[in-house]
Amino acid sequence: MACGSGGCGGGGCGGGCAGGCGQGGACGTAACPALHVYDWLPDLGVGGSPVVYEIVEVAFKGNRKGFFRNVHNLDLHTGDYVIVEADRGVDFGIVHMVGELVRLRLKSKALDEDDDFPNVVRLANLHDIEQWEANKEREAETFLVGRRAIDRMNLPMKLVDVEWQFDHKKVTFYFTAEHRVDFRALVRELAKRFRTRVELRQIGARDEAARIGGIGSCGRELCCSTWLQSFKPVTTQSARVQNLPLNPVRLSGQCGRLKCCLNYELEQYMQALKDFPPVDTVVLTPQGPATVQKVDIFKEIVWLQYEDGSWEDRPLAEVKAMLEDGGEAPRRKRTRNTSRRGRRRGRGRGGNASGGAS
């Protein structure tokens, strides 16, 4: 499983131990069972009884998932096609998770087993699967109709995806927009066109990438469209701590926002940096005072700069010993060479450093 290898090291289990929680999937963070792991506990019930867990998780289009109650005691396994209760009708889904892993997922989402979950109606038959495939073809046609209607009304919104309910009693249009959009006229036209209940749902840029999917720069499927359950804030400070170049092109994902993976190893970096002296710390070396310029947490090396401008890399253990023996000198304050900047500014304006005309 992913536990113990960093999968649950993001603070979701207790103190957020670096390197994973080590609980083999029982931490309840949903980070491990979200992946397609092998379920070693398919028939384990409460107290070791052979009673199968009643609640299952079903996945739909666009990584949308929900919990359903198996009231008919169907023999369900991951990957089975099922018909489930939906809003004013039924829908078609794929079983994503069963057994004790579902109980852990409920725990991570702060849901109670006694909550009112919709039911699994039955296993899907061949006719249901054919209709499901036909619905996917119809969604492509519906998408074009919706996009033409948006262009005709000149609405400031971008249509992302369309999802038909299995029984055609509802169609959902997912869109993105910079500001709030009055789409009541659009809803009326689409409802008249398709003769069913129409729902327009605004989503964010990250939700758009999750629904569309794709391949990231790492060569793997997008995290948001596979296993990531929630979006956490990502800032440029995460890149600075990991000493990554602040290149917007390389740090941005398919959604145009900072990549979620910038947070994955952030905790480990912050934990490792606690053993290193901060940048600009003055170390009293045998060759004289030197300033810490940068560090390498993997090789445990500290780069020092002496007063004559020369650089030297030293092992972290030696720098720590020097700090303990000689103490830490006052940190230097960074100063800017204003005279050089002034000369550049003067040349750019056609004048000298004092601003007079040449």
Question: Euclidean distance between the first and final Cα of the chain, in Å?
Answer: 72
Calpha distance 240→292 (Å, rounded): 17
Calpha distance 240→231 (Å, rounded): 20
pLDDT in tens, the chain (358 residues): 344 434 444 444 433 343 444 444 444 444 444 445 556 655 555 455 555 689 999 999 988 899 999 999 999 999 999 999 998 899 999 999 898 889 888 988 889 888 999 999 999 999 999 999 999 999 999 999 999 999 999 999 999 999 999 999 999 999 999 999 999 999 999 999 999 999 999 999 999 998 988 999 999 999 988 888 788 899 999 999 998 999 999 999 999 999 999 999 999 999 999 999 998 999 988 888 999 999 999 999 999 999 888 999 999 999 998 888 765 555 544 444 433 344 344 444 333 333 333 3
Please report which helix (H) or strand (E) contains residue 146, including its range. Answer: helix 126-153
Domain boundary among 124, 143, 177: 124
DSSP 152-166: HHT-S-EEEEEEE-T
Residue 143 and residue 98 share a domain: no
Residue 163 and residue 186 share a domain: yes
13 within some domain: yes
Backbone angles phi, psi at 274, to 5 degrees: -65, -25
186 within some domain: yes
Structure tokens belonging to residue 236: 């440029």
Q: Three-state DSSP class for 231?
A: coil
The identity of residue 34, as a single letter, is A
Residue 174 and residue 137 share a domain: yes
Residue 95 and residue 70 share a domain: yes
Q: Are 170 and 196 in contact (CB under 8 A)?
A: yes
Domain count, the chain: 4
66 within some domain: yes
Residue 192 and residue 142 share a domain: yes
Q: What is the CATH number of the domain that holds 176?
A: 3.30.300
Q: Are 326 and 284 in contact (CB under 8 A)?
A: yes
Residue 190 and residue 156 share a domain: yes
How far lies 13's CA from each of 30, 35, 133, in Å?
10, 17, 40
Residue 66 and residue 12 share a domain: no
Residues 6+ apart with CB under 8 A from 314: 285, 301, 302, 304
200 within some domain: yes
Q: Is 31 left (phi over 0), alpha (psi -120 to 50) or beta?
A: alpha
Find, among 155, 235, 136, the residue nearest to 202 by Cα.
Answer: 155
Residue 82 and residue 149 share a domain: no
Residue 25 and residue 82 share a domain: no
Residue 110 and residue 141 share a domain: no
Q: Which residues pair with 296 in a beta bridge?
A: 301
Domain boundary among 124, 148, 167: 124
Residue 157 and residue 97 share a domain: no
Calpha distance 78→75 (Å, rounded): 10
Give the model's pLDDT for residue 21: 46
Model confidence, pTM: 0.70
What would you measure as the largest C-alpha separation in the chain, in angstroms? 93
231 within some domain: no
249 within some domain: no
Domain boundary among 124, 155, 184: 124
Radius of gyration of the chain (CA): 29
38 within some domain: no
CB atoms within 10 A of CB 317: 10
Domain that holds residue 74: 46-124
268 within some domain: no
Q: What is the CATH number of the domain that holds 316?
A: 2.30.30
Give the model's pLDDT for residue 328: 55
